[in-house]
Amino acid sequence: MTVINNPVQIAECDGPCFENGPEACDCGALMTEQHLITPPPELVASWGNSSPVDFFDAHWGYEQYIATQAANWGANQELEACCEWVQAFADWGDLLRQDRRPKPPSLKEQALATLESADGSEYPVISTTLTADQHALIRRALETLPDG
């Protein structure tokens, strides 16, 4: 049996592709070109090593984690290509990037939004009711402030 060393050369049959090497493939199932947006094997390996899901997960969680990382990586590659293309014709590349990949709100913005949406937040009231998660968020925001 011949081993196909190039990972993008995949044969789905058990015919001449495996018996005589990939150059003998006549089944049409052999891919000989790699897609332009394919993550490098080292990056895929790092995703596998950093997966929060066990490799032997019975519900395909490990594979789904890697597939999700690959989809995100590919989407980011495509976005960067689009931003470069748009930037060549108009100064909109940064706007496109900001719109498609907005930055998450800062801890301060999250804390203020939490206070605004908390029960009893209409001013003036004697007390405001917070959930444990809301309390933890505001505590994290306050802990980032300098003393004094």
Report how many domains make up the chain.
Answer: 3
Which of 10-14, 41-45, 51-55, 136-140 shows the lowest mean pLDDT across its residues?
Answer: 10-14
pTM of the entire predicted model: 0.50
Asked if 47 and 12 sit in the same domain, the reply is: no
For residue 71, what pLDDT is reported?
92
Q: Is residue 25 part of a domain?
A: yes
Based on the fold, state whether residues 90 and 136 are members of the same structural domain: no
Q: Is residue 148 part of a domain?
A: no
Q: Is residue 66 part of a domain?
A: yes
Question: Domain range for residue 23?
Answer: 1-34
Token representation of residue 16: 């001449």
> pLDDT at residue 69 above 90?
yes
2 within 8 A of 25, measured Cβ to Cβ: no
Angle between helices 61-89 and 93-100 (to 10 degrees): 160
Domain boundary among 83, 100, 117: 100
